[in-house]
């Protein structure tokens, strides 16, 4: 319970097969401390759809192994990794992309603060991810787009927060800057869909930690993507060969800019929607 409390809000329940349906309806995730076979047999008649079934992880009574049973790409793998991190269990993750250390469509959508419109495309896209990096294209309307079944269409939700920072910036500095920018636009942390920056900041510890606290993956954009944008003001990032970071990141991902780049100490923030 203490281990899960670091990332979740756990409740301890005693096993009752007759109440399993109610438990699945009431809770977002389930950790079943029992043999995989018991969990599988109990769930068989209750499963409906991979996109709506609640993530379930089985843990053996000796606390040696965490096995995602249902919803690997929908929270079960992440839950197993959490148990591994805090309890030292082995995360027996079997989804192909994760086992191969490759991205998957579901995680890509989450990192972009988007929902998958045509879910049937997930099989083809995830199979492609096993072999290559699948490009993500941003199309701004009005447009009519015709796609085949193997093209995943994502619909973005939430605001885009673009962030640039000086080297060695702290997590506290980043969060303070983001909160100040959000306040200036009347937005809240909960409304953030994408937290974006330059690929050059991929290893910046303070920004990575800030993204985790905000509950978002840090989306790192390439030089080509950033330099294809036309920011409203010059940027010091020109020293790095970039037209900018915070504002171009927003321009690349959002429909409109609602807060042009603004400096908050060693951090610059722009916001779009």
Question: What confidence tens digit (pLDDT) does each residue in 117-143 have?
Answer: 999 999 999 999 999 989 888 777 788
The whole-model pTM stands at 0.66
Residue ranges of E strands in 55-168: 56-59, 65-70, 90-91, 114-116, 154-156, 159-165
Is there a single domain that holds both residue 250 and residue 145?
Answer: no
Within a domain: residue 212? yes
Q: How many CB atoms lie within 10 A of CB 265?
A: 13
| Measured distance CA(273)–CA(270) in Å, rounded | 11
Residues 16-57 pLDDT 10s: 888 999 999 999 999 999 999 999 999 999 999 999 999 999
Evaluate if residue 237 carries a pLDDT over 90.
Answer: no
Range of the domain at 120: 105-155
Alpha helices in 44-170 (DSSP H): 76-87, 96-99, 105-111, 122-129
| Measured distance CA(62)–CA(1) in Å, rounded | 15
Residues 167-216 pLDDT 10s: 999 999 999 999 999 999 999 999 999 999 999 999 999 999 999 999 88
Q: At which residue do the structure tokens 């995602």 appear?
A: 68
Evaluate if residue 263 carries a pLDDT over 80.
Answer: yes
Q: What is the CATH number of the domain that holds 17?
A: 3.40.50.11220
Is there a single domain that holds both residue 163 and residue 199?
Answer: yes
| Measured distance CA(261)–CA(204) in Å, rounded | 20
Cis peptide before 142 (omega within 30 of 0): yes
| Measured distance CA(24)–CA(11) in Å, rounded | 13
Per the structure, how many domains does the chain have? 3
Minimal CA–CA distance to 81: which of 92, 73, 95? 92
Residues 31-41 pLDDT 10s: 999 999 999 99
């Amino acid at each position: 319970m203490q281990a899960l409390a670091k990332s979740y809000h756990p409740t301890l329940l005693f096993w009752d097969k007759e109440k399993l349906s109610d438990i699945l309806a009431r809770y977002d995730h389930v950790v079943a401390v029992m043999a995989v076979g018991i969990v599988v047999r109990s769930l068989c008649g209750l499963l409906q759809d991979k996109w709506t079934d609640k993530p379930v992880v089985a843990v053996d009574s000796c606390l040696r192994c965490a096995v995602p049973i249902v919803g690997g790409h929908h929270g079960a793998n992440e839950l197993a990794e959490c148990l591994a991190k805090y309890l030292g269990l082995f995360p027996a993750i079997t989804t192909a992309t994760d086992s191969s250390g490759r991205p998957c469509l579901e995680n890509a959508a989450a990192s972009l603060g988007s929902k998958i419109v045509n879910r049937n495309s997930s099989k083809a896209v995830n199979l492609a991810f096993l072999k290559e990096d699948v490009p993500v294209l941003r199309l701004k309307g009005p447009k009519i787009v015709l796609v085949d079944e193997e093209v995943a269409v994502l619909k973005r939700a939430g605001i885009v927060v673009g962030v640039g920072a000086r080297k060695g910036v702290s997590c506290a500095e980043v969060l303070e800057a983001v909160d100040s920018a959000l306040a200036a636009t009347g937005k809240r942390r909960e409304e953030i869909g994408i937290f974006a920056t330059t690929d050059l900041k991929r290893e910046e510890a303070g920004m990575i930690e800030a993204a985790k606290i905000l509950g978002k993956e840090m989306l790192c954009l390439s030089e080509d993507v950033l330099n294809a944008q036309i920011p409203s003001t010059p940027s010091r990032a020109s020293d790095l060969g970039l037209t900018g970071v915070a504002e171009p990141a927003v321009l690349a991902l959002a429909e409109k800019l609602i807060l042009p780049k603004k400096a908050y100490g060693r951090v610059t923030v722009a916001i779009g929607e």
